[in-house]
Amino acid sequence: MAKADGSDVMNKLVEKKDKPKTLVDWINAMKPEIERALPKHIDADRIARIAITTIRTNKDLQSCEPMSFVAALMQASQLGLEPNTPLGEAYIIPYKDKGIPSARFEMGYKGLLSLAHRTGEYQTIYAMEVYANDEFDYAYGLEPYLTHKPAEEPEGEPVRYYAVYHLKNGGREFRVWSRKKVEQHADKYSMAFKRGWTSPWKTDFDSMAKKTVLKDLLKYAPKSIEFSRALSMDETIKHEVAEDMSEVPADYIEIDSADFNVMDEPEPGPDQSNEMPSEQVTLG
């Protein structure tokens, strides 16, 4: 995974008399550093265009402290995830950090799947919603199993969410959360959810629920150091670009976002996940 090394550049820009004045100026000035952070298959010009479109369509992001926005963009770039697109890989969301309008990096469900697949360790990994009229049964313990046969015509809202992985070496595991447990988690960690503001929790609850359960499952999964660092970047606000992202604690998984005052968050694209086939799937 590429390293972000833009702090010196940003410091020099801050010291200049003709330093960037707008977020667009900052993005253009930092484009060489963004390009260095990106994997080879992603174009820096595309990321810059996405970032500029994002701030031009979200007035709250326009007022964010520039360092925090560029840091969030660098986080997405380093992970090779496109922020604020219909892909739903990642988001740059406006928050207030101790009263300062700041940008927060947040990974999406698709982004989390992408990072897991890149490790090369997983034969299968996905999350799924369960409806009341689905055939669904599971058990933990010495002989765990999970069986799910989705109904042809789902009724109502999902009542459960689960995440599973099957490693290439044969190991497998799953986690099941009720909808109520997901809502309690969102109420604790998302001020936007608690107050009913526009956020991915409001516009795409199922995708956020699947990400939450999958993230919980991955706490106990075999992970490379790089994958652990990637997880540690989720739901963070930074006011500088780290010279070496290895400084991020590998065991840090999630912060309590209730400390932040959430402003208007961008609407994510539709969840286009097709990771699970429609026929019966059994683990055990």
> What are the tens digits of pLDDT across the range 53-66?
988 888 888 888 88
What's the pLDDT band for 8 if we cut at 50, 70, 90? low
211 or 18: whose pLDDT is higher?
211
Residue 207 included in any domain:
yes
**Cβ-contact 92, 77 below 8 angstroms:** no
Say what the pLDDT of residue 143 is: 95
Residue at 31 is within a domain: yes
Indicate the DSSP class of residue 56: H
Cβ neighbours of 88 (radius 10 Å) = 26
Count of structural domains, the chain:
1
For the chain, what percent of residues have pLDDT higher than 90?
A: 34
Which residue's entry shows tokens 């500029």?
52
Which range marks the domain in which residue 209 is found?
7-283
pLDDT in tens, 239-284: 765 444 333 333 222 223 332 233 333 333 333 333 333 333 445 4
pLDDT higher than threshold 90 for residue 195: no
d(CA 247, CA 242): 8
In this structure, what token pair is assigned to residue 280?
Answer: 């019966």
Q: Is 274 exposed, middle or buried, given 0-12, 13-18 or 19+ CB atoms closer than 10 A?
A: exposed
Contact 72, 79 (CB under 8 A): no
Closest alpha carbon to 119 in 232, 224, 231: 224
DSSP code for 50: H
In a domain, 279, yes or no: yes
Q: For residue 1, tell me if it sits in a domain.
A: no
* pLDDT tens column, 124-159: 999 999 999 999 999 999 999 999 999 999 999 999
> What percent of the chain is modeled with pLDDT above 70?
75
Element (H, E) at 92: strand 90-97
pLDDT band at residue 22 using 50, 70 and 90 as cut-offs: confident
pTM exceeds 0.85: no
Q: What is the dihedral of CA 112, 114, 116, 122, to 10 degrees?
A: 130
Q: DSSP alpha helices (H): ranges in the chain?
A: 7-15, 23-29, 31-37, 44-56, 59-62, 66-79, 109-118, 179-189, 191-195, 200-203, 205-218, 225-233
Q: Is 2 contained in some domain? A: no
Beta strands 90-97 and 100-107: pairing type? Answer: antiparallel
What is the arithmetic mean of pLDDT over 163-177?
Answer: 95
Average pLDDT over residues 172-199: 85
> Average pLDDT for residues 15-40, to the nearest whole number?
77
Instruction: Report whether pLDDT(94) > 50.
Output: yes
Q: Establish if 265 belongs to a structural domain.
A: yes
Q: Which residue has the higher pLDDT, 22 or 53?
A: 53
Residue ranges of the alpha helices (H) in 1-118? 7-15, 23-29, 31-37, 44-56, 59-62, 66-79, 109-118
What is the C-alpha to C-alpha distance for residues 183 and 57, in angstroms, rounded to an integer? 29
Residue 95 has pLDDT above 60, yes or no: yes
